[in-house]
Chains A and B, each alone.
Chain A
């Protein structure tokens, strides 16, 4: 494309069909620890790659 560069094209909603295994790290959003947004975590479900 000439006018648009897409830098992330995975549809997050579609990924959910293999998601929800719960094996990922908890994502404490409290600033008194290190506030994870969930987005900086890795998925630990190999099926979800």
Chain B
């Protein structure tokens, strides 16, 4: 399967099966649009449309045909797209990551919060250390031979329970050597409760920190008010700057875009101007009826934002000035994940579990609060292995709508929770999310191509 597209003045071809990416000149691109796979395998170009011959001339077309045939024979064009042989590697697997809901409470009142401003539809609560300790022990027990284990401190707002975060890290560190494990901690925060002490601690212990901020002050303050209704931008910005100034590990400032700021490229640039160079913005997650939720009609404006941002970054990288990392354009073409990982996807409910303050296990943080999805608890472990099996089978090979999609080995079937919440089935991809994913992927590929072509 091929995906042919044009971005930033380039003619691009992704060979879906092999993952190869090519930039074609005009005659080769036009030729590839009219010549089929069989012709290239046989080396017989056949008669071409007269218009094509007139535009490019027979010699150029024959040259281009020869180059395309060579790629077909190398497996880099119309490469084998049958990955079913890896199905045996896709069953239930060791658990290697946990999302600990340290606080089902929050000190902000974000209007788009999917967690009902922290409570996830239930009582406000903090996770006691006894539950966090059991969660760590359970993660070690369920991880079998896995060495690298991730623990994400999440909420609500995890800084509201910072003492237990520290106790949990200390406990995990105290057992990791004997257990033969390597813990990586991450934390996601709204920044409000950061102080010098917690900043130092996070910079020392957390392999990654996600700092929530939406971009421009007016955009941020409109969606992320304090409990008293005032904006939170001016409170958190100096804290984030201080944290990032003292950091030598990964971090992201992370914003949310809604239909109120489909020109989110301006928010990304505002975050860079504010002093950050690791930037992520994400489409809002919310019910279709909410005023801020993205709709089909917003897609052209969103596409323009991604395209502007891609061209801006290409220009900055060309000038070697003002470059920054934008999460949606990150593509590791050299050392990216193996094909089995691409088939597995996120691993929710199989390799990844979320733990509530009272110790229930869910497939991921997005399912928390929907009791149909409780998989067990930290005391008894996984009591619903059928649920784990179900999520293990939510891989790309079983998402039938993905079979004919060119983006499948990059997105792996999307977010299972999003699929369930918006389409009623973890195997059913959400169409709007798919469209956004494809736009960002095309831009990511085009940006890489632009930079690599210039370097070579």
Q: What are 30 pairs between A and B in contact, CB < 8 Å? A: A1-B70, A5-B23, A5-B456, A7-B449, A12-B338, A13-B17, A13-B18, A13-B19, A13-B339, A20-B89, A20-B340, A22-B146, A22-B351, A25-B97, A26-B97, A27-B341, A27-B347, A29-B412, A29-B414, A30-B365, A31-B283, A31-B415, A34-B252, A34-B280, A34-B282, A38-B345, A38-B412, A40-B336, A42-B336, A48-B338
Instruction: Determine if A16 and B86 form an interchain contact, defined as CB atoms under 8 angstroms apart.
Output: yes
The residue from A3, A13, A24, A29 contacting B337, defined by CB atoms under 8 A apart: A24
Q: Least Cβ distance of B414 to chain A in Å?
A: 6
Q: B53 within 8 Å of A by Cβ?
A: no
Q: B142 within 8 Å of A by Cβ?
A: no
The residue from B25, B147, B148, B340 contacting A16, defined by CB atoms under 8 A apart: B340
Known: A30-B417, A42-B336. A8 touches B67 (CB 8 A): no
* Chain A residues within an 8 Å CB radius of B416: 29
Q: B96 within 8 Å of A by Cβ?
A: yes
Q: B342 within 8 Å of A by Cβ?
A: yes
Residue-wise, chain B 12-34 has the 8 Å CB interface mask toward A (1 for contact) of: 00000111111111011000000
Q: Least Cβ distance of B364 to chain A in Å?
A: 7
A43–B335 Cα gap in the complex (Å)?
6
Instruction: Determine if A33 and B210 form an interchain contact, defined as CB atoms under 8 angstroms apart.
Output: yes
- CB closest residue in chain A, given B24: A4
User: How many positions in chain B have a CB within 8 Å of any CB in the partner chain?
Assistant: 88
Instruction: Determine if A37 and B351 form an interchain contact, defined as CB atoms under 8 angstroms apart.
Output: no
- CB closest residue in chain A, given B415: A29
Q: Least Cβ distance of B257 to chain A in Å?
A: 10
Contact residues of B between 308 and 362, Cβ < 8 Å to A: 327-328, 330-342, 344-348, 351-352
A17–B334 Cα gap in the complex (Å)?
17
A11, A13, A30, A37 pick with most chain B CB within 10 angstroms: A37
Q: Least Cβ distance of A45 to chain B in Å?
A: 7
B residues in contact (CB < 8 Å) with A: 17-25, 27-28, 60, 63-64, 67-68, 70-71, 75-76, 79-80, 83, 86, 89, 93-94, 96-97, 114, 146-148, 150, 152, 184, 188, 210, 252, 254, 256, 280, 282-285, 327-328, 330-342, 344-348, 351-352, 364-366, 409-412, 414-418, 433, 437, 441, 448-449, 452-453, 456
Instruction: Determine if A4 and B337 form an interchain contact, defined as CB atoms under 8 angstroms apart.
Output: no
A25–B345 Cα gap in the complex (Å)?
11
A residues in contact (CB < 8 Å) with B: 1-13, 15-16, 18-20, 22-45, 48-49
Q: Least Cβ distance of B121 to chain A in Å?
A: 15
* Chain B residues within an 8 Å CB radius of A35: 282, 328, 415
Which 7 interchain pairs have the tightest Cβ spacing?
A: A19-B338, A16-B339, A12-B19, A20-B340, A40-B330, A3-B28, A31-B282
Instruction: Determine if A8 and B21 form an interchain contact, defined as CB atoms under 8 angstroms apart.
Output: yes
* Chain A residues within an 8 Å CB radius of B254: 34
The residue from B67, B335, B409 contacting A4, defined by CB atoms under 8 A apart: B67
Q: Least Cβ distance of A9 to chain B in Å?
A: 6
18 extra interface residue pairs, beta carbon distance < 8 Å, beyond A26-B347, A30-B365, A40-B336: A4-B64, A4-B67, A6-B22, A7-B448, A11-B18, A16-B340, A20-B340, A26-B150, A26-B351, A27-B341, A31-B418, A34-B282, A35-B415, A37-B441, A40-B332, A41-B332, A42-B335, A43-B336
A43–B285 Cα gap in the complex (Å)?
28
- CB closest residue in chain B, given A13: B339
* Chain B residues within an 8 Å CB radius of A34: 210, 252, 254, 280, 282, 327
The residue from A13, A24, A39 contacting B80, defined by CB atoms under 8 A apart: A13
* Chain B residues within an 8 Å CB radius of A40: 327, 330-332, 336
Q: Least Cβ distance of B443 to chain A in Å?
A: 12
